[in-house]
Amino acid sequence: MVGTVTLPSHWRLKHSKNAEGQIQIDPLQARNQTARKMIQSIEIIVEDAVTKGDHAFKANIISAVGAYREAMNLLTMHQSLTEDEKSLFQDLIDDFYLQWIELLGEEGITNYIHLLGSGHMLYFLE
């Protein structure tokens, strides 16, 4: 479950067992607020979701999503970004994008990932 000790969430990560009996994460559909909480707790989710022996993959996913989280924190300040903040945003997104593509390849490129990695978000910010 996603949440804290004092404020537990009632939302659970959907999962099932595949033909070999291994637990797999089902496709996610979440509201914005839930997705934000998931990103804030990504380390816990990745630790539980990724095979125990794949430490490099875990570390790289956490690193990539950490850069994403920092970039999104800039966008949720609800104010116009300075030129330095816009540059930092794109640097963080570039870090995220490169790591994400290295980890997941072409299958990891959704429309949203493309929007970020192509620089379209920076264009809209400017």
pLDDT computed for residue 4 by the predictor: 67
**Same domain, yes or no: 70 and 89:** yes
Same-domain pairing of 60 and 14: no
Residues 2 and 61 in one domain: no
- In this structure, the answer to whether residues 30 and 61 fall within a common structural domain is no
Contact call for residues 121 and 115 (beta carbons, < 8 A): yes
Judged on CB neighbours under 10 Å (0-12, 13-18, 19+), 102 is exposed
Block residue for tokens 């797999």: 24
State whether 70 and 20 are in the same domain.
no
Q: What is the pLDDT of residue 8?
A: 67
Q: How many separate domains does the chain show?
A: 2
Q: Identify the band that residue 88 occupies on the pLDDT scale cut at 50, 70 and 90.
A: very high
Q: Are residues 23 and 78 in the same domain?
A: no
Question: In degrees rounded to 5, what are phi and psi of residue 2?
Answer: -95, 135
Q: Are 63 and 26 part of one and the same domain?
A: no
| Statement to judge: residues 30 and 71 lie in one domain | no
CA 119 → CA 10, 77, 115, distances in Å? 36, 20, 7
Residue-range definition of the domain harbouring residue 54: 50-125
Strands (E), the chain: 15-17, 23-25
Query: What's the pLDDT at 74?
Result: 92
